[in-house]
């Protein structure tokens, strides 16, 4: 039976890499896939999913007004489809997550969603909230904080490397993100005193947590991990 999957993680955990590898496995067996990514950070001339390690594949862009069930249903009527992949799934609306659930339940197609669990202030994204609520299979993609612990939180920085604790969920302008464990996230966002008393500051070339920021993944489209819009 087809299932709705949600693989979630913090930034730069390699979600897009895993998505592209999984899609490749289908294609290698002669099966047809349909890939989606959010239009939010995508350039209109770059309809693709890119991973940090250089993998890339063409993708459809979705925005908040798209009826994904109708689109996929029409696609499946044009030719056989075997699996749907959705990157940046945190940006799905609640309604769209239900549309994807119907793709699974009514069209019998597996849907693999990949996205961030929480935003830079620690709140669930709309799409992630609904996926956590109704997906058949939840999978955590692990990445690590600078301390070596599992990173579950995302912090936003300005271009100078200062941690930001206010702003819109989807950033307008340039921001940089890093993944931290919950303990360090509380310290770096000022919710708990820093151990060394200093306010932390990250540079582009010295980001913590195994965060190479070398492009793709959730850090699209800029290869330094700068989400420009």
Report the catalytic residues.
Answer: 88
Instruction: Confirm or reject binding of residue 184 to Zn ion (CB under 5 A).
Output: yes
Candidates 187, 184, 189; CA nearest to 157 is: 189
Instruction: Confirm or reject binding of residue 138 to Zn ion (CB under 5 A).
Output: no
- Figure out which of the listed residues 101, 145, 157, 171 binds Zn ion, where binding follows CB under 5 A: 145
106 vs 90: CA distance, rounded Å = 23
Instruction: Confirm or reject binding of residue 154 to Zn ion (CB under 5 A).
Output: no
Exposed/middle/buried for residue 106 (C-beta within 10 Å: 0-12, 13-18, 19+): exposed
Instruction: Confirm or reject binding of residue 131 to Zn ion (CB under 5 A).
Output: no
3-state secondary structure of 164: strand
Which CB, 91 or 185, lies closer to Zn ion? 185
Instruction: Confirm or reject binding of residue 147 to Zn ion (CB under 5 A).
Output: yes
Binding window for Zn ion (CB under 5 A); candidates: 25-33, 109-117, 167-175, 184-192: 184-192
CB of residue 90 vs Zn ion: minimum separation in angstroms? 22
Of residues 72-101, those binding Zn ion (CB under 5 A): none
3-state secondary structure of 38: strand
Give the pairing type, strands 137-140 and 60-62. Answer: unpaired
Contact 49, 56 (CB under 8 A): yes
Instruction: Confirm or reject binding of residue 15 to Zn ion (CB under 5 A).
Output: no
Instruction: List CB contacts of 168: < 8 A, sequence separation 6 or more.
Output: none
CB of residue 182 vs Zn ion: minimum separation in angstroms? 8
Rule CB under 5 A: which residues touch Zn ion?
A: 145, 147, 149, 181, 184
């Amino acid at each position: 039976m087809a299932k709705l999957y949600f693989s979630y993680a913090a930034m730069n955990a390699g979600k897009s890499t895993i998505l592209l590898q999984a899609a490749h496995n289908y294609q290698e067996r002669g099966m047809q896939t349909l890939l989606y990514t959010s239009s939010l950070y995508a350039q209109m001339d770059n309809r693709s999913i890119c991973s940090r390690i250089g993998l890339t594949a063409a993708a459809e862009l979705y925005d908040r007004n798209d009826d994904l069930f109708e689109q996929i249903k029409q696609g499946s009527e044009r030719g056989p489809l075997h699996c749907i992949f959705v990157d940046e799934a945190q940006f799905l609306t609640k309604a769209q997550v239900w549309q994807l659930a119907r793709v699974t339940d009514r069209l019998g197609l597996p849907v693999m969603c990949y996205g961030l669990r929480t935003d830079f202030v620690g709140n669930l994204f709309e799409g992630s909230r609904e996926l956590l609520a109704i997906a058949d299979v939840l999978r955590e993609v692990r990445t690590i904080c600078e301390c070596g612990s599992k990173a579950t939180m995302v912090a936003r920085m300005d271009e100078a490397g200062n941690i930001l604790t206010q702003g819109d969920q989807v950033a307008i302008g340039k921001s940089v993100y890093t993944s931290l464990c919950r303990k360090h996230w509380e310290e770096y966002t000022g919710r708990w005193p820093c151990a060394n008393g200093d306010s932390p500051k990250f540079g582009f070339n010295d980001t913590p947590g195994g965060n190479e920021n070398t492009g793709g993944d959730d850090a699209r489209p800029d290869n330094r991990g700068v989400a420009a819009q």
